[in-house]
Amino acid sequence: MTWASAFSLSHRSHSCHSEGDLTLGGNLSNSGTINVDSGGTGCGVDDILIRSSVAATQRLWSGSGTFTLQDVDVQDQAGTAAITAYSSTNTGNNGTNWTFNASCSGFTPRPPASVGSPWIF
């Protein structure tokens, strides 16, 4: 997924369970739910790269929403939202609001009930 400008999530849920990248071309504001897990069934390989579209330019994550991240590789992200990335890689230039915890988060996503529905964390 690539967002070319600022991304705002308001009282909605977005889940990403796959191999691929999340590239932000602007800041991210969340008052809903963001779930990202490249492993899908617990700790695994960090297949999802979270990046800025401009190298060395931090993208700011903010909002009171829920961020659930596991098995991701993060670079050039910052902001005011407190975010913990479990079983993930800190590739550098991330703000102090990002915490990298080597353990699994304890959540196990369940497949969606129907095609097009989000994964359940």
Encode pLDDT of 17-61 as tens digits. Answer: 555 688 899 999 988 888 888 866 667 788 889 999 999 999 999
- Pick the closest to residue 42 from 63, 64, 6, 17 (CA basis): 17
Encode pLDDT of 54-98 as tens digits. Answer: 999 999 999 999 898 988 999 999 999 999 999 999 999 999 999
- pLDDT (0 to 100) of residue 42: 64
Global pTM reads 0.78
Q: What are phi and psi of 78, to 5 degrees?
A: -155, -155
Region of residue 83 (left: phi > 0; alpha: psi -120 to 50; beta: else): beta
The pairing of strands 66-70 and 33-37 is: parallel
- pLDDT (0 to 100) of residue 5: 47
